[in-house]
Structure 1
Amino acid sequence: MKFQCSACGLRINSRHFKQAGLMNPQLTSICDICIQSGEESADFANMAVAIFAQGLLYTFIGKNETTKDDEEAAFLVTKKDQRKRYEAFIQDYDGNELAQQQLKRTEFNQAIIDSETGKNDFLPKLELTFAENLEKMGLSVDFKLNEVDYIDRERIRAKYHYRCQYCGRRGRSVDHKDPVSLSHNNNLDNLILSCQECNRIKSNMPYELFVKLNSQIPQVNQKLVKYENALATLKGEFEQKRRELAAKMHLKGVVNDPELNQMRKQNKKLQDAIDSLDSDYNELRSLREQHFMTGWKLAQEKEKDDII
Structure 2
Amino acid sequence: MDSLHFKQQGLINPKLTSICDICLQRGEDAEQFANNTVQTFATTLLYSFVGKDGDDKQDPSFFVKKKQSRKFYEGFLQDYDGNSLAQQQLDRKEFNQAIIKSETGVVDFVPNPGLDFNTNLQKLGLQVDFQLNEVDYIDRERIRAKYKYRCQYCGRSGRSVDHKDPVSLSHNNDFDNLILSCSECNRIKSNMPFKLFTELNDQIPEINKQLVKYENTLRSLQEEFEQRRRKIAATMHLKGVVQDPELNAMRKQNKKLQDAIDSLQSDYDSLRKVRENHFVNGWKVAELEKEEDII
Q: TM-score, normalised to structure 2's length?
A: 0.95
1:236 aligns with 2:223: yes
AA matched with 1:48: T
Q: CA deviation at 1:69?
A: 4.3
Cα distance in 2 between the residues matched to 1:48 and 1:67? 9
1:272 aligns with 2:259: yes
User: Partner of 1:60: helix, strand, or coil?
Assistant: strand
Q: Which residue of 2 aligns with 1:210?
A: 197
Q: Which residue of 2 aligns with 1:167?
A: 154
Q: CA deviation at 1:209?
A: 0.6
Q: 2:245 aligns with which of 258, 275, 281?
A: 258
Q: 2:36 aligns with which of 15, 35, 47?
A: 47
User: Partner of 2:195: helix, strand, or coil?
Assistant: helix
Q: Which residue of 2 aligns with 1:295?
A: 282
AA matched with 2:230: R
Cα distance in 1 between the residues matched to 2:27 and 2:109? 21
Checking the alignment, whether the CA contact within 8 Å between 1:220 and 1:288 is kept in structure 2 is: yes
Cα distance in 2 between the residues matched to 1:186 and 1:207? 15
Q: How many residues are paired up?
A: 295
AA matched with 1:252: K
Are the structure 2 counterparts of residues 304 and 139 from structure 1 closer, same or farther at C-alpha, using a change threshold of 3 Å? farther
Cα distance in 1 between the residues matched to 2:33 and 2:59? 11
Q: Which residue of 1 aligns with 2:12?
A: 23
User: Partner of 1:110: helix, strand, or coil?
Assistant: helix
Cα distance in 2 between the residues matched to 1:256 and 1:121? 65
Q: Which residue of 2 aligns with 1:97?
A: 84
Q: CA deviation at 1:82?
A: 2.4
Per-residue Cα deviation, 1:90-142 (whole angstroms, up to 9, x for no partner): 11111111101111111111222222233333332232221112112121111
Q: Which residue of 1 aligns with 2:107?
A: 120
Q: 2:235 aligns with which of 239, 244, 248?
A: 248
Cα distance in 2 between the residues matched to 1:224 and 1:289? 12
Q: CA deviation at 1:236?
A: 1.0
Q: CA deviation at 1:81?
A: 2.7
Cα distance in 2 between the residues matched to 1:173 and 1:110? 38
AA matched with 2:129: D
Identity of aligned residues (%): 69
Are the structure 2 counterparts of residues 264 and 122 from structure 1 closer, same or farther at C-alpha, using a change threshold of 3 Å? closer
Within a 5 Å distance, the mapping from 1:43-192 to structure 2 comes to: 43-66=32-55, 68-71=57-60, 74-192=61-179
AA matched with 1:94: D
CA RMSD of aligned residues (A): 1.6
Per-residue Cα deviation, 1:220-273 (whole angstroms, up to 9, x for no partner): 111111111111111111111111122112212222222222212221221122
Q: Which residue of 2 aligns with 1:9?
A: none
User: Partner of 2:153: helix, strand, or coil?
Assistant: coil
Q: CA deviation at 1:294?
A: 0.7
Q: For structure 1, which runs of at least 5 residues remain unmatched after alignment?
A: 1-11
Q: For structure 2, which runs of at least 5 residues remain unmatched after alignment?
A: none
Checking the alignment, whether the CA contact within 8 Å between 1:15 and 1:306 is kept in structure 2 is: no
